[in-house]
Copies of this chain bind each other. A is one copy, B any other.
Amino acid sequence: MLFLDINETDFDTRFAAILTRGEETSLQVTEVVRGIIKDIRSSGDDALLEYTNRFDRLGLADAAGLEITAAEIEAAVAAVPADDLAALQLAVERVARFHEKQKQQTWLSTEESDILLGQKVTPLNRVGIYVPGGKASYPSSVIMNAVPAKVAGVREIIMVCPTPGNEINPAVLAAAKLAGVDRIFRVGGAQAVAALAYGTASIPKVDKITGPGNIYVATAKQLVFGQVGIDMIAGPSEILVINDGTGNPAHIAADLLSQAEHDELASSILITTDRGFGEKVAAEVERQLALLSRESIARASWDKFGAVIVAGSLAEAAAFSNRIAPEHLELAVADPFGLLPLIDNAGAIFMGHWTPEAAGDYLAGPNHTLPTGGTARFFSPLSVDDFVKKSSIISFSEQGLKRLGDRIVQIAGLEGLEAHARSVSLRLEESK
């Protein structure tokens, strides 16, 4: 863990390791993934079945076995305690209610009497949701991907989730059912992404793929981008806490560890205007680390990518935060709304001392799929916007074309595009 003053002369140098912790995809991984995509495109289900049996240690005889049946889903739902189902249902409802507010309407401007202009908003037809398998198979990931798609009006939601050793978390299947997923396939990795992007006999081709995954999944998503839409390129995740010396150091320490326990590459940073507070948080982190069952992961993350930074002012802390563009930003200060206008780049902003990051991870309502690794400079949280597309609407009347036609012909001429000009001038001639 680094304990630094932001105004030390070598701050940037010492901090650089944290900023660049996201490994770039190696050419080797890219080549492997490219090969898998090629196989799926050329051999479809045969390749998908072979990769799935091999990587997930399954013994499926044919492609029909790739789909998880309604009976299997019902059995999983029955296996989840009723009180856990109620918690997941609450999450689905609250996430749906928040995302409803993101819906945009088709609009048409009538401010010119002779030209109507507008924008049509249309749900995507079919989307694919990637849900990791094994230990990191979380019901909340299902909810955060499927609910916005459902709210957007997507006609069919296809979920893929690998089942290594034929195991799957029943809560994941229950969440899929509660969130409105239409079909589920027991496939994962680059082969699942390729199957969704290009379609196979058993897996329908989708318009967009969302959801987290390992480096093979992320690389596959990047390679199929353009063939289908994707949500974002995910990197290692992080939390940044801005503090003004108010609040409880034990709470802040717990928040930092809630990020660190995810992943050894996760980064947890406190920037405070109060050195003494920072020291107390550092001590609390050490104390709480020992209590965690995921201690080794959290400790590796904290040791290597944790930091406590002392800033001269909250404005300085906000400027630092904007440079980091953190996935999760806690404004653990007395007046968080006063600080909000200074925040340019962040995935989600957690306001004040009663809003730990975990409050946003499951059921506050906003999405937990957030831009990581500094990409909050330009990416947004997953939202209903990801599951619709827009079409411009342009409607000229005869009068409208007469009013603007000469200028259109003029610019077409300026660009040397005669046929463009003629398509307008022919109509203007007829209109005379």
Contact = CB atoms under 8 A, between A and B. Distances in A.
Interface of A: 83-84, 87-88, 90-91, 98, 101-102, 107, 109, 115-117, 119-120, 122, 124-125, 135, 138-140, 171, 207-208, 222, 225-226, 228-229, 232-233, 235, 248, 250-251, 254-255, 257-258, 260-262, 288, 291-294, 298, 329, 336-337, 340, 343-367, 370-371, 375-381, 383, 385, 389-398, 400-401, 404-405, 407-408, 410-412, 414-424, 426-427, 430
B87 A250 contact: no
Contact of A423 (B356, B412, B420): B356
12 contacts: A87-B407, A125-B345, A251-B426, A254-B423, A294-B416, A337-B395, A343-B391, A348-B393, A349-B392, A354-B400, A366-B394, A380-B390
A30 B57 CA distance: 34
B261 A417 contact: yes
A371 B354 CA distance: 44
B125 A377 contact: yes
Contact of A122 (B88, B345, B408, B430): B345
A414 B125 contact: no
Given A83-B410, A254-B426, A348-B393, 12 more contacts: A91-B411, A138-B415, A222-B226, A261-B417, A292-B419, A340-B393, A345-B391, A355-B394, A356-B424, A371-B389, A380-B391, A381-B392
A392 B367 contact: yes
A338 to B, nearest CB: 13
Nearest to A22: B226
A59 B49 CA distance: 57
A414 B143 CA distance: 14
Given A84-B410, A222-B225, A419-B254, A395 B336 contact: yes
Contacts of A354: 396-398, 400-401, 427
Nearest to A259: B419
Tell me if A's interface is mostly helix, strand, loop or mixed: mixed
A383 B378 CA distance: 14
A269 to B, nearest CB: 16
B391 A348 contact: yes
A313 to B, nearest CB: 21
Given A254-B426, A257-B419, A228 B378 contact: yes
Given A261-B418, A358-B420, A414-B84, A377 B207 contact: yes
Contacts of A349: 120, 391-394
Contacts of A98: 109, 117
User: Could you say which of A291, A356, A361 has the most chain B C-beta atoms within 10 Å of its C-beta?
Assistant: A356
User: Could you say which of A140, A233, A343, A415 has the most chain B C-beta atoms within 10 Å of its C-beta?
Assistant: A415
Contact of A101 (B107, B344, B345, B401): B107
A358 to B, nearest CB: 4
A298 B361 CA distance: 54
Given A101-B109, A228-B378, A354-B427, A254 B395 contact: no
